[in-house]
């Protein structure tokens, strides 16, 4: 397994190189930038700034320069925020990680539990109600669902704060600060769970229905094993196999999917600054964030491969 992981890590190097080229060319060929979009600059000042930031260089020269910066851990310089992109992302990315990980744990737990129950009681009242709830949640646009949650829980009921990460002007620390963050996390986490848990529930229900019809499940029941043992020990592990493939896309999907959620709830995460940078045409920030998503996608696929080999003992990884 160690050799397999090492080999896959080495295979990611050309993938990252190719991803960096695609990302650079995508934004380099996009018309306009932060300097061109600033109507207050004179033509001479704009040309001077382009020379300072190297934007007047040939395209391939600019790419090699950016690639050399990446190898040194430098993602470039934000023209809007006037700080290095790596420093800017470091300020906000951990807030996005907090939101994404908590949402991931909740909607995977809910999706698996509800999917198992629905598969064990197909065409029951519970199964029909779950199907209706799932399709209703998946039909809501992200921004509309976020605004609806704000109206219900923040404006009408006054149970939770509207947005942000802590109360305005608060200087609390320790447990009081943690409670404030938890209260502000509730609505964006609820929005992401409602948007993501439905599709996972349907996937897992379908996978469980396929597994429980197989011969080895009938054999396990014929041996007199308890139904709980049959489901949790025999059916669950096999039903997880096709779902594990989705795990490789979940974390980068959450980061990219939470962009609108972070903006609506004013959550100080990477998605929030992504939209601001998009409006300002701050391409170095957009390139750094997109490259970060590419790295997450590659690592997520590696994690899915490792978990797949662990979950299915029939798979033999050749060193």
Give the pLDDT confidence score for residue 23 in this predicted structure: 92
* Rounded mean pLDDT, 277-298: 87
Helix (H, G, I), strand (E, B) or coil at 173: coil
Domain count, the chain: 1
Residue 166 belongs to a domain: yes
Residues 291 and 297: their CA atoms lie apart, in Å, by 10
Find the mean pLDDT for residues 217-237: 84
In a domain, 141, yes or no: yes
Interatomic CA distance for residues 138 and 132, integer angstroms: 10
The model carries a pTM of 0.82
Question: Could you tell me if residue 255 is inside a domain?
Answer: yes
In 3D, which of 247, 248, 274 has the Cα closest to residue 260?
274
Length of the chain: 319
Q: What angle do CA 204, 295, 17 make, to 5 degrees?
A: 130
> Does some domain include residue 42?
no
Domain range enclosing 135: 85-315
**Structure-block tokens of residue 302:** 């590696």
How many angstroms separate the CA atoms of 85 and 111, rounded? 36
For the chain, give the mean pLDDT: 84
Question: What was the pLDDT predicted at 212?
Answer: 84
Does residue 317 surpass a pLDDT of 70?
no
The CATH number given to whatever domain includes residue 271 is 1.10.3720.10
Q: 71 lies in a domain?
A: no
Q: How much is the pLDDT for 149?
A: 92
């Amino acid at each position: 397994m160690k050799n397999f992981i090492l080999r896959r890590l080495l295979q990611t190097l050309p993938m990252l190189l190719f991803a960096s080229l695609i990302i650079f060319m995508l934004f380099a060929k996009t018309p306009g930038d932060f300097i061109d979009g600033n109507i207050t600059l004179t033509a001479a000042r704009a040309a001077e700034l382009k020379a300072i930031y190297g934007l007047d260089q040939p395209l391939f020269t600019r790419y090699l320069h950016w690639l050399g910066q990446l190898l040194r851990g430098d993602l470039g310089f934000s023209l809007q925020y006037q700080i290095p992109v790596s420093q800017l992302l470091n300020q906000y990315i951990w807030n996005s990680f907090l939101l994404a990980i908590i949402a991931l744990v909740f909607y995977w737990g809910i999706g698996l539990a509800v999917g198992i129950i629905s598969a064990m009681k197909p065409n029951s009242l519970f199964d029909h109600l779950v199907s209706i709830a799932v399709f209703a949640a998946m039909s809501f646009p992200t921004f509309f669902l976020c605004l609806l949650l704000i109206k219900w829980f923040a404006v009408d009921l006054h149970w939770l704060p509207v947005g942000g990460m802590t109360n305005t002007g608060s200087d609390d620390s320790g447990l009081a600060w943690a409670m404030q963050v938890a209260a502000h996390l509730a609505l964006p986490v609820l929005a992401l769970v409602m948007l993501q848990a439905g599709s996972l529930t349907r996937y897992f229900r379908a996978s469980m229905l396929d597994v429980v019809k197989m011969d080895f499940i009938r054999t396990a029941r014929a041996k007199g094993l308890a139904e709980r043992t049959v489901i949790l020990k025999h059916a669950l592990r096999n039903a997880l196999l096709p779902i594990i493939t989705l795990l490789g896309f979940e974390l980068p999907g959450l980061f990219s999917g939470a962009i609108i959620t972070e903006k609506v709830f004013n959550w100080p995460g990477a998605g929030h600054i992504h939209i601001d940078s998009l409006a300002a045409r701050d391409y170095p920030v957009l390139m750094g964030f997109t490259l970060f998503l590419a790295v997450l996608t590659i690592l997520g696929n590696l994690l899915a491969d490792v978990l797949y080999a662990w979950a299915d003992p029939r798979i033999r990884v050749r060193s």
